[in-house]
Structure 1
Amino acid sequence: MTDRRLSLQTLDALPATAARPAYDPRRVTPGIVHLGVGAFHRAHQAVYLDDLLAGDPQWGIVGASLRRADMRDALQPQDDLFTVAVRSGEGTSLRVVGSIRQILVAPEDPQALLAAMCDPAIRIVSLTVTEKGYCHDPATGDLNPDHPDVKADLDNPQAPTSAPGLLVEALRRRRAANVVPFTVMPCDNLPANGPTVHRIMTQYAGLLDGDLARFVERDVAVAGTMVDRIVPATTDADTAEITAALGLSDAWPVVTEPFTQWVIEDRFPTGRPAFETVGAEMVADVEPFERMKLRMLNGSHSTLAYLGYLAGYQTVSETMADPAFERLVRRMMTDEIMPTLKMPGTDLTGYRDALIARFHNPALRHRTWQIAMDGSQKLPQRFLGTVRDRLAAGAPIDRLALGIAGWMRYVTGTDEKGAPIEVKDPLAGRLKAIADAAGRDPGRLAEAYLGVGEVFGRDLGNDPAFAGPVTRALEALYEAGAARSVEAFAG
């Protein structure tokens, strides 16, 4: 481990094999505030902006952490530079990114973040706060007014900590100061994330003031997006390997795959970067692309995560090395998901094959446990829209049901060998209590979990066409285990 730290002063010491910013980061001015500076943002949107800043330095990023200071503390001593390691079967390429010029920590100083969001130079506020960060009901897509963060913000709206609270308060202040609204650009896996986030913001504003709600609804633009890149959590081994290759210490690099995609709804009334010049796709309607990605990539990913974890596999590539798991996700995408997607001109078969190849990438150690997090928030987006479309068509859902049953088995908190599972989920305590009450009776367990309205809404839990296949799949998981059930369902 080297004592020399990655920074603006040490950029010239990088090896020739490591790419570096094609511009002077000191000359960059901020045009975007990004809420939720995590690994995905740094491996995705920040890379696109890094490409763009070489020709247009007015679109630097002010990042914000809404929870912890660890990212700020790691990157501030290195002038907010960080390394992106792109791994494939052919090897690893390294790139230092300089598009993030400052990181703020909302809980420490919400006023500093609000001041940044109110700067007239900021024309876009983008977000990667995960599904749960929008404080909404995933089953309906509406704001949850009883969410603890929402209630706290409504009690003290001028010092908010939630994403909806920060957005609305910054927009209120800009309006009061005669500054045009920024465009909101959500980059999370929500169905119709543009209209959904616009509705959540309007509903939050309506709890404060009717006139403010009308302003948010009428005058604030929200540009929906579809984002796609697999970004596992960085391990200590990753950090040590990247530091050794750089010859400089990087406290928090990110690791990702070669594939990247960004589809953006072109709705930016106050201006935007030339995203299309750096590989983003600008479209009039992003929803079909969102739906394709949520259902095919994310639904398959979650299926592999829950069932793979239960079968004893630690990573997606290990899971995919089992031929039964590859057959399962291939058949699920081909037979149950793709028929629900109406996208003339899009090669869904090619997209499917590319996904399977990406899942096989042995250099990307994406842990099944990481993907399994926050399932109660993810299931409605990743599975249940497909399920509803299939049921409306009178079509079978057996493989989708197995993925959902895999989630149910996983969130009991005990694996097939009786060992505890560390379930990370906003409803973890409630889900564990349900499992304890049901015991090892899959029929009772399925019925109880299907009654969780925040996940399954009011319709699916009471629909025998849904409850029946899910219950049978859960019975199979208890009787035969995940590996044998996947073999049976893969066909």
Structure 2
Amino acid sequence: MTPPIQPVDDQRIILHIGTGSFHRAHQAWYLHRLRESGDSRDRAWSIAAGNIRSDMNTTHEALAAQGGTYTLETVSPDGAREYESIRSIQRVLPWSPDHASLIEYGSSRACRIISFTVTESGYYLDNHDRLDVSHPDVAADLNGGCGTIYGVLAAILEARRRTDGGPVTLQCCDNLRHNGEKFRTGFAEFLTRRSLDALKQWVQTHTTTPSAMVDRITPRPTPDTCARVLAATGLDDRCPVMSESFAQWVIEDRFIADRPAWEKVGVELVDSVLPYEEAKIRVLNATHSCVAWAGMLVGLEYIHEGTRDAEIARFAHDYITQDVIPSLLPSPIDLSRYRDVVLDRFSNPYIRDTNERVAADGFTKLSGFVVPTLRDSFARGEVPAASAMLPALFLAFLTRWADGKLHIDYRDSLQDIAGIRAMLAAEDPVAAFCSDRRVWGGLTSDSRLIGAVRDAYGTVNRWLASRPETLRRVS
């Protein structure tokens, strides 16, 4: 049972949807810091957390058994570990197919913010950032279901509208460019297609959706995390989280119904998040994938191993320096320094973030993280040889995976296994690779793109041929 909702004056609730590791290492951690260091008003804020899907129930139930309290272990590049007992999640909402608890808390006047972490693919947007109505999950919700963020929020906000719950901020916390704007567009189309006209009008006038940039490397927890927490704290924590010591959160300050004083604990409240998210997505996220794909190809298990490999580090450094930085200037950020900070973070040997985790969902990552830099470089009249290495590394990764040389269970939300194998079996795999409009948008089948990727693919294969000793480790 979840505790009853108290009178509005006593508390301010953030309903968060998605209790995975990243939320608990990032947003919940920031609110915990504010509650611990602030005055009574700051301590009035708390999180009620639940999930749309049942696949997290084991962790979620462990969190509920601990009253929402869990341990966050952070580790710096020099190996310093710190342990915090995070207590900002005051209510762990039980999962049910009808999402009754989410609707109850989200429709309450005590709830001022509904935030969500559902991963990039959880927004079901096509290459033009329109709702992908052909996706089975979306189609089911358009027929009255409640299995996506759109269906769940429609149910929550309809209850809020009918009970006069008042305005509420919808806060996207996923790694998605222009996340608030894109979510709002997708949600509006969803409501239109569901013929929920009154709710759509209510959403337009009673909600805001500020965009945000989120950053903290948070690998999947392992049994080792539980053992370290027990040794360091004496707590037998069944749902701890481990992350790097670095954290960043930049939010557009457009909240319609009050917000925590996050600026007191290092959150950056800005007018526009655009330059921060562009730097993060193109420098950090794209480079993360670059290191993962390259590392997998030469038999490395962890991100830090690839970052410390001179040749892989050069791929990453050249991509940022030659193509990304020119595309982002002018910027309020010292981009060269940001590059160096990112690569230093990736080299942290204590995070043990796996290449397999980061390498997944590559088509989506190419589309969001890499294509914008390729497009900008071509627009400047340049051949983006350094950026073309990233799709070439991914294509080589797919080829070796399909040949059985990489023993992983690869999955991709944008392309099914049969489609990947058909692409690789084409007479010209590079041209077939560059022909998927969902990935390449306006660059689809562009001769400049095909030429750059073909040249880079040759470079990748020559690089791999020069390292036969590492290839044997994954064969």
Confirm or deny that 1:32 pairs with 2:14. Answer: yes
Q: Pick from 114, 120, 123 the counterpart of residue 103 of structure 2.
A: 114
| Compared CA separation, residues 344 and 295, structure 1 to 2 (3 A) | closer
The amino acid that maps onto 1:76 is A
- 2:71 corresponds in structure 1 to 83
1:170 aligned to 2:159? no
Deviation at 1:471, TM superposition (A): 2.2
Shift of residue 245, structure 1, vs aligned partner: 1.6
What corresponds to 1:279 in structure 2? 266
Q: CA deviation at 1:466?
A: 1.1
What is the CA–CA distance in structure 2 between the aligned matches of 1:181 and 1:418, rounded to whole Å?
Answer: 54
Q: Percent identity?
A: 34
Pair 105,373 (structure 1): closer, same or farther in 2 beyond 3 Å: farther
What secondary structure, in the 3-state scheme, does the structure 2 residue paired with 1:414 have?
helix
The code of the aligned residue for 1:184 comes to: L
The equivalences for 1:372-391 within 5 A come to 372-391=359-378
Paired with 2:385 and 2:200, the residues of 1 have a C-alpha distance of 43
Preserved contact between residue 276 and residue 333 of structure 2 (Cα < 8 Å): no
Deviating more after overlay: 472-481 vs 216-225: 472-481
Amino acid in the other structure paired with 1:350: R
Q: TM-score, with normalisation over the residues of structure 1?
A: 0.87
Q: Are the structure 2 counterparts of residues 356 and 200 from structure 1 closer, same or farther at C-alpha, using a change threshold of 3 Å?
A: same
Partner of 2:297: 310
Q: Secondary structure at the match of 2:425?
A: helix
| Structure 2 spans left out of the alignment, 5+ residues | 1-8, 469-475
The Cα shift of 1:346 comes to 2.0
RMSD of aligned residue pairs (Cα, Å) = 2.2
Q: Which of the numbers 435, 438, 448 marks the counterpart of 2:432?
A: 448
Q: CA deviation at 1:30?
A: 5.3
User: What CA distance in whole angstroms lies between the structure 2 residues aligned with 1:468 and 1:36?
Assistant: 42
Task: Determine the structure 1 residue equivalent to 2:226.
Answer: 239
* 1:87-486 to 2 correspondences below 5 Å: 87-88=75-76, 89-137=78-126, 139-157=127-145, 160-209=146-195, 210-412=197-399, 414=401, 418-426=405-413, 427-435=415-423, 437-438=425-426, 444-457=428-441, 459-478=442-461, 480-481=463-464
Shift of 1:479: 5.1
1:151 Cα deviation from its structure 2 partner: 1.2
Distance change (3 Å), C-alpha of 1:70 and 1:482: farther
Counterpart AA for 1:131: E
For residues 416 and 480 of structure 1, the distance between their equivalents in structure 2, rounded to whole angstroms, comes to: 18
Task: Classify 1:399/1:416 alpha carbon distance in 2 versus 1 (closer, same or farther; 3 Å).
Answer: farther
What is the CA-CA distance between 1:176 and the residue it aligns to? 2.2
**Structure 1 residue 345: Cα displacement:** 3.5
Q: 2:24 aligns with which of 42, 50, 54?
A: 42
- Contact kept? 1:411, 1:431, Cα under 8 Å: no
Q: Matched residue of 1:363: which SS? A: coil
Is the 1:310–1:482 contact (alpha carbons within 8 Å) kept by the matching residues of 2? Answer: no
Relative to structure 1, the CA distance from residue 229 to residue 424 in structure 2 (aligned partners, 3 Å threshold; closer, same or farther) is: same
In the superposition, relative to structure 1, how do residues 217 and 462 fare at CA in structure 2: closer, same or farther (>3 Å)? Answer: farther
Shift of 1:373: 1.8
What amino acid does structure 2 have at the position aligned with 1:193? N
Unaligned runs of 5+ in 1: 1-26, 486-491
Name the counterpart of 2:4: none
Q: By how many angstroms is 1:172 displaced?
A: 2.2
Question: 1:132 Cα shift?
Answer: 0.6
For 1:165 and 1:483, locate their aligned partners in 2 and report how far apart those are by CA, in whole Å.
Answer: 51
